[in-house]
Structure 1
Amino acid sequence: MSARIVLLGPPGAGKGTQAARLAESLGVPAISTGDIFRANIKNGTELGRKVQEITATGALVPDELTNELVRDRLAQDDAVDGFLLDGYPRNVAQVAALDEMLAATGTAVEAAVELTVDPQVVVDRLTKRATIEGRVDDTEDVIRHRLDVYAEQTAPISQVYGARGLLVQVDGLGDVDEVTQRLLDALQGVRSA
């Protein structure tokens, strides 16, 4: 099945968990820029060192670097017939870059799904995750800064996809299975419209 989906939501909304589940249900790869960046950091690559310096302060990786990484990933065989993007695009300029990438292959984003959550729940989730996983980039100050950055730069993406009639918002709080079902139901509604 073909599906070209963008998954939106603030850090800690559960995008990674839900992306993996949705991608499996839809039969497409879940592509997470965050996972790719963290793998490079863990492996000590040049990209990883650059990304670590940037993310340690709560800032976002520059568009040109992120766009190139996504362009390369979408060109891989498993993503030709569809994908679920988690963590990209993060701003309106990246939406335009993604549009160009897909237009070159005669395709387009089919739906954008936004997980909505209470900001305090996000802070609680991420500080707990930091303790469990030993993530140095998940201090409370950095988390709050990332939420501010999200509100300023990423949330306007919702307006872009909303104007195109492609946006659905789904409550990201609750049992993981319930949230997954809400997402699948919402996608069914958008993709059949």
Structure 2
Amino acid sequence: MTRILIIGPQGVGKGTQAAGLAEALSIPHVSTGDLFRDHAARGTELGLEVKRYLDSGQLVPDSVTKQMVAERLGDPDALDGFLLDGFPRTLPQAEWLDEYLHSSDHAVDAVLLLNAPNKVLLERLTARGRADDTPEAISTRLALYHSETTPLLDFYHDRVVAVNGVGTVDEVRERALKALRDFLNGHGRAA
């Protein structure tokens, strides 16, 4: 049973790494972005609510995101572990997740923090060529990430596994797998 969060700034490769790591660890990759898209595509009540917020350019409120995450983590394939990508992003979300997991005698086992220098992230994000990926917009998003993430790292201080996110996809994945396995094995948890 392995419950892992993946955290990192935009452009560090969280989504790419999360999918490969989850597969290597034989646990589902649970992405809030995927949950939003899935619910919206299926036209569920939550999906219609998500679509309404996204279409108006607003953030999906915590109440909706929490409901989707709780529903997904309650699915049979996630009962023995998961790699959660995109949640929590704030301290209140982390506190809620801890309470939610504790209600079924579970906890987050590790928090994988993918790091890269802002200069590298800026280069990667501007290379994507998206209209909203201007240097100013990227800098603003990175500053917001750093201000919101620091409290998460403090909250999960004893479970953070920091890994350098610079390198090829395979190099970063191998580095992350080794770091996670070393950490989990050192804490009496299988990985």
| Alignment TM class, shorter chain as reference | 0.7 to 0.9
Between the aligned residues of both structures, percent identity stands at 45
The Cα shift of 1:144 comes to: 2.2
Query: Does residue 23 of structure 1 match 2:22?
Result: yes
**1:92-150 alpha-carbon deviations (Å, 9 max, x no partner):** 11111101111121111000010001112222222323x3xxx5554443322221211
1:186 is matched with which residue?
Answer: 179
Change (3 A) 1:117 1:42: farther
Moved more, 22-31 or 145-154: 145-154
TM-score normalized with structure 1 length: 0.84
1: distance between equivalents of 2:62 and 2:143?
Answer: 18
The Cα shift of 1:40 comes to: 5.7
* Number of aligned residues: 182
Structure 1 gaps, min length 5: none
The Cα shift of 1:34 comes to: 2.3
1: distance between equivalents of 2:2 and 2:175?
Answer: 17
Change (3 A) 1:108 1:40: same
1:51 is matched with which residue?
Answer: 54
Query: Does residue 156 of structure 1 match 2:151?
Result: yes
2: distance between equivalents of 1:120 and 1:63?
Answer: 31
The Cα shift of 1:181 comes to: 0.8
When the two chains are superposed, the root-mean-square deviation of aligned CA atoms in Å is 2.1
Change (3 A) 1:152 1:53: farther
Whichever residue aligns with residue 48 of structure 1, its letter is K
TM-score normalized with structure 2 length: 0.85
SS at match of 2:11: coil
Whichever residue aligns with residue 81 of structure 1, its letter is D
